[in-house]
Structure 1
Amino acid sequence: MTRVLVVDDQFLIRAGLVGLLNAAPGVEVVGEAEDGEEAVRLAAETRPEVILMDIRMPGTNGIRATERILAEAADPPPRILVLTTFDLDEYVYGALRAGASGFLLKDSGPERLLAAVAAVGGGDALFAPSVTRRLIEAFARQAASGAGGEPAPDLAALTSREVEVLKLIARGLSNLEIADRLYISEATVKTHLNRTMTKLGLDSRAQAVVVAYETGLVTPGG
């Protein structure tokens, strides 16, 4: 049973998501929040595995809520799936940078929503990796060169194989595709990714993709 917390400041959207999820087999909605502050509190109280997070909310927005939830979460942390109206959204980029696992457009159909919840709940690859990569490419350059914000991590701690895996993840390849490309097992790919994330202090695969672009390991369109 996948435990889900739903966060959206619009009642009708929130109620629709809750109704859809509660009707799906293998999913349990453990709470619903109308703003970021309530999301942080309920995440600590209910310990969901997946959080559907609205990104643009008054007060504490989805980016700040994501940062706080992941910073305060017990292990394993929840997977946060950002809900947005626009696929090229600077706010979504900020949430991915903060550790969200992926994002989903609000006009996606029920099947896509449930597939996304299942994917991130199972710790799978980014949902819609090609779209996520396009978003990251659109904003990574300006974030890396802009003033303020957190500096990108140093990749010197990574082994050459870990760097190779990180490059391929940033290109949108799945673990299985990376395993085939490097002639190693899928389990070994997961091990390299987990070690990379631990060394760099990352919370999600999406965050690893952001780091690969912001450090210049890969370049947009390259």
Structure 2
Amino acid sequence: MVGQGVLRVAVVSPQEVVMRGIVSMLADYPDRVVATAVPSARSVGAGADVILYDTFGLFLGGGPELFSLLDESDAKVLIFSRDLRPDLLALAYTLGASAWISMGVHADELVRSIELTAAGEPIREPQGDRQGTMAGLTSREIEVLKLIAEGLSNQDIAEKLAMSGNTLKSHIRQTYRKIEVTTRSQAVGWARAHGLASPVELG
């Protein structure tokens, strides 16, 4: 029997090794979460507080089931994604996802993210800066990209970072080149898909 305050988590992944591995990780926190392995979103029964959804399901054509989960489920949906598949995470956001965690996080970070998701609070993804570094961005370029994703204008960013407009434009050009985008909206999408955007409130 689940104790009061313990969250019920359905782990959805088409890969058994991933699904059972995460359930095993979460088993170390029985006073906070109780996890069940579910091979398909269609198999998620009533009663789950949080659904942990593997974006690899989207690679196998799981877009409709994720959309259905996000649109119809009473449970909160937390996306978990591989660092090397930002395309799948971007697709999850397109379908309406608003909370995600990297598959590379430690168990305690995952449990905390589940608790934040259940409470409807934003998650501050700890892997974002690391992903920016993996893309070849400098710390300054990561900072600029975060501010772009927050919706600040070039003038506001330049003032906030105490740099000239020309210097900022140079940083932006280099950043866009490294992440292979050409527009501001694409840069925001990349930042969000890689955990660099400001947290989005869960509805």
TM range (shorter): 0.5 to 0.7
- Separation in 2 of the partners of 1:87 and 1:47? 32
Secondary structure at 1:94 match in 2: helix
Q: Distance in 2 between matches of 1:91 and 1:13?
A: 16
SS at match of 2:51: strand
Instruction: State how 1:176-195 maps to structure 2 within 5 Å.
Output: none
Shift of 1:111: 1.6
Q: Which residue of 1 aligns with 2:21?
A: 16
Change (3 A) 1:47 1:60: farther
Task: Tell me by how many angstroms 1:89 deviates.
Answer: 0.7
Alignment: residue pair count: 138
2: CA distance between counterparts of 1:60 and 1:47? 26
In structure 2, C-alpha distance between the alignment counterparts of 1:89 and 1:71, rounded to whole Å: 22
Residue 9 of structure 1 deviates from its aligned partner by 2.0
Cα displacement (A) at 1:83: 1.7
TM-score normalised by structure 1 residue count: 0.50
Alignment-mate amino acid for residue 150 of structure 2: R
Given that residues 4 and 27 in structure 1 are in contact (C-alpha distance below 8 angstroms), is that contact kept between their aligned partners in structure 2?
Answer: yes
Q: Is the 8 A contact 1:40 1:68 kept in 2?
A: no
Normalization by structure 2: what TM-score? 0.54
Partner of 1:53: 53
> Is residue 171 of structure 1 aligned with residue 150 of structure 2?
yes
Structure 2 match to 1:210 = none
Partner of residue 40, structure 1 = 42
Higher Rg? 2
Question: Which residue, out of 75, 81, 84, partners 1:84?
Answer: 81
The 2-side partners of 1:33 and 1:46 are apart by 13
Partners of 1:65 and 1:19 lie apart in 2 by 25
Structure 1's consecutive aligned runs of 4 or more residues displaced over 6 angstroms after TM superposition are none
Q: Percent identity?
A: 21
The aligned counterpart of 1:27 is 33
Distance 1:55 1:88 in 2: 9
> 1:130 Cα deviation (Å)?
8.6
Unaligned runs of 5+ residues in structure 2 are 1-5, 133-146, 152-183, 186-190, 192-203
Deviation at 1:78, TM superposition (A): 2.0
Amino acid at match of 1:26: R
Q: Cα RMSD (Å) of the superposition?
A: 3.7
Relative to structure 1, the CA distance from residue 88 to residue 41 in structure 2 (aligned partners, 3 Å threshold; closer, same or farther) is closer
